[in-house]
């Protein structure tokens, strides 16, 4: 199952990249994508034993998340550009490393959360050790946004990711 | 003419973000804050630049330019996945090899009352 | 429009030359790797601009994609190599909860930026 999905993704990529639709190039594409998907069959969708409908639901929820994430990317770029072009940048930064425990279980969800943290304003994921995230924040404001509410529950982004992959409430 | 204006605006915005990335890379005090500047500025500036070029290419629309536009969007998609991952690899390597980091606090958080002071379990 | 693209390309080239300062002077090796990564991203965009100028985008775009991929792999490989080389012997961790090694907190903020950790 995973190998078939990998093959389809690889072959679509091949067709887009080659742009030729004759028998020779398509045959080469089939051979190359079959080889690659056989070699990496346990790499792309490891531990992913959900049904097709569940996967499609995940993709749909992820696309809604991607819209929100793109807005965060715009904010992050404007934030860092304002910070680095500001004449008083040294007074405005106050870096620190914070850590927090995540509620996410699967590796892929943690990967998505780590990349999202890196893309959003003022924070970069340093390391994931088991279920603990180490995050470098450029000022305490960014650290506070990430860590969530005062009770210690998950922050907004972590709730998004949990909602996508693990059926939690957003 | 209007499309040309859109292209110019997009590419100048992308150039501004590239400029901010470079300035941040040069003047930030330590390695970790430089990673902030380098890792964040890459994504949106590439999107703006390549978006401007896609619009510029699609002015004479045919199959070939459409395919080129799809390939350009693939580059954008790839940058969105690869840039945070590369940033993470670099900052983890620096952290592991104990690159010193710049901090404003003399003692660990003494006299500071920010948002994460209230969450003792979440702070180093 | 062509002059505009040329101007953008020249500006990117100047920014790349400026980023080269971090590669040459950067106090640690990892700063240099970071500078090379930033230059590589700009290069991929510059390649596509050159392709647009010479009206051969469909050829240059493959080069740009390959360059972006190579830049990503180079960055990760260099970072991993530096990480391994800077820690030749990993100590045996005996703690119940192995904590990751944290960099030392430095007392004087102004002096730590440049040259305190020459590689």
Domain map of chain A by residue range? Answer: 2-39, 52-166
pLDDT computed for residue A49 by the predictor: 56
Rounded-to-integer distance, Cα B82 and Cα C65, Å: 12
Chain A and chain B share a number of CB contacts under 8 A equal to: 132
Q: B99: closest CA among A136, C28, C80?
A: C28
In the predicted model, residues of chain C with pLDDT beneath 50 are: 88-119
Query: For residue C91, which phi and psi values (nearest 5 degrees)?
Result: -70, 150
Q: What is the ipTM of this complex?
A: 0.78
**Model confidence over A122-160: pLDDT tens digits?**
888 888 877 778 888 887 777 666 655 444 556 677 777
pLDDT computed for residue A164 by the predictor: 77
pLDDT computed for residue B96 by the predictor: 79
State whether C102 and A127 contact (CB < 8 Å): no
Instruction: Tell the residue number behind the tokens 């550009």, with chain if given.
Output: A81
State whether C79 and B25 contact (CB < 8 Å): no
Which residues are within 8 A (CB) of A29 and not within 5 positions of it... i.e. 6 or more apart? Answer: A11, A14, A15, A18
Rounded-to-integer distance, Cα B57 and Cα A151, Å: 52
Mean pLDDT per block of 10 residues along chain B (124 residues) reads 89 92 87 86 88 89 84 88 88 80 55 35 38
CA distance C35 to chain A (A): 16
Distances (CA, A) of B47 to A85, B74, B78, B80, C26: 20, 11, 11, 9, 28
Q: Which of C15, C37, C116 sits opposite B100 (nearest CB)?
A: C116
**Measured between alpha carbons, how far apart are the two ends of chain A, in Å?**
30
Residue of A nearest to B124 (CA): A98
Domain map of chain C by residue range? Answer: 2-88
Rounded-to-integer distance, Cα C18 and Cα B42, Å: 16
**Model confidence over A46-102: pLDDT tens digits?**
555 556 677 777 788 888 888 888 888 888 888 888 888 888 877 777 777 777 777
pLDDT computed for residue B105 by the predictor: 58
- Chain B residues 51-90 with a CB less than 8 Å from chain C: 53, 56-57, 64, 67-68, 71-72, 74-75, 78-79, 82-83, 85-86, 89-90
State whether C109 and B26 contact (CB < 8 Å): no
Secondary structure (3-state) at A96 = strand
Ordered DSSP codes for C6-40: HHHHHHHHHHHHHHHHHHHH-SSHHHHHHHHHHHH
pLDDT computed for residue C7 by the predictor: 93
Rounded-to-integer distance, Cα C72 and Cα B86, Å: 6
Q: A93: closest CA among A133, A135, A123?
A: A123
pLDDT computed for residue B7 by the predictor: 92
């Amino acid at each position: 199952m995973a190998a078939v999905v990998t093959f389809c993704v690889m072959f679509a990529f091949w067709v887009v990249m080659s742009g030729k639709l004759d028998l020779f190039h398509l045959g080469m594409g089939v051979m190359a994508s079959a080889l690659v998907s056989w070699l990496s069959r346990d790499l792309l969708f490891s531990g992913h034993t959900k049904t097709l409908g569940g996967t499609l639901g995940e993709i749909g929820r992820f696309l809604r998340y991607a819209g929100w994430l793109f807005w965060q990317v715009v904010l992050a770029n404007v934030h860092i550009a304002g910070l680095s072009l500001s004449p008083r940048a040294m007074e405005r930064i106050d870096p620190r490393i914070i850590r927090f425990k995540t509620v996410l279980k699967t590796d892929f969800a943690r990967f998505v959360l780590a990349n999202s943290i890196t893309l959003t304003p003022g924070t970069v994921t340093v390391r994931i050790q088991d279920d603990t995230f180490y995050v470098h924040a450029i000022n305490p404001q960014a650290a506070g946004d990430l860590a969530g509410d005062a009770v210690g529950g998950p922050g907004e982004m972590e709730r998004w990711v949990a909602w996508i992959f693990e059926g939690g409430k957003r | 003419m209007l499309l040309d204006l859109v292209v110019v605006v997009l590419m100048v915005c992308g150039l501004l973000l590239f400029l901010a990335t470079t300035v941040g890379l040069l003047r930030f005090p330590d390695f970790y804050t430089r990673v902030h500047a380098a890792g964040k500025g890459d994504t949106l500036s590439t999107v703006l630049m390549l978006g401007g070029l896609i619009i510029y290419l699609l002015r004479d629309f045919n199959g070939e330019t459409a395919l080129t536009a799809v390939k350009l969007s693939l580059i954008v998609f790839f940058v969105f996945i690869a840039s945070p991952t590369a940033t993470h690899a670099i900052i983890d390597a620096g952290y592991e090899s104990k690159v010193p980091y710049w901090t404003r606090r003399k003692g660990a958080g003494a006299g500071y009352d920010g948002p994460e002071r209230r969450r003792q379990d979440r702070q180093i | 429009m062509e002059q505009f693209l040329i101007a953008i390309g020249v500006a990117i080239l100047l920014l790349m030359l400026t980023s080269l300062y971090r590669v040459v002077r950067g106090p640690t090796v990892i700063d240099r790797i970071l500078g090379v990564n930033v230059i590589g991203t700009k290069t991929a965009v510059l390649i596509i601009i050159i392709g647009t100028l010479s009206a051969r985008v469909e050829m240059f775009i493959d080069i740009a994609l390959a360059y972006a991929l190579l830049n990503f792999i180079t960055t990760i490989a260099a970072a991993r190599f530096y990480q391994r080389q800077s820690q030749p012997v990993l100590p045996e961790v005996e703690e119940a909860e192995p904590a990751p090694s944290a960099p030392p907190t430095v007392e004087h903020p102004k002096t730590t930026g440049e040259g305190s950790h020459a590689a």
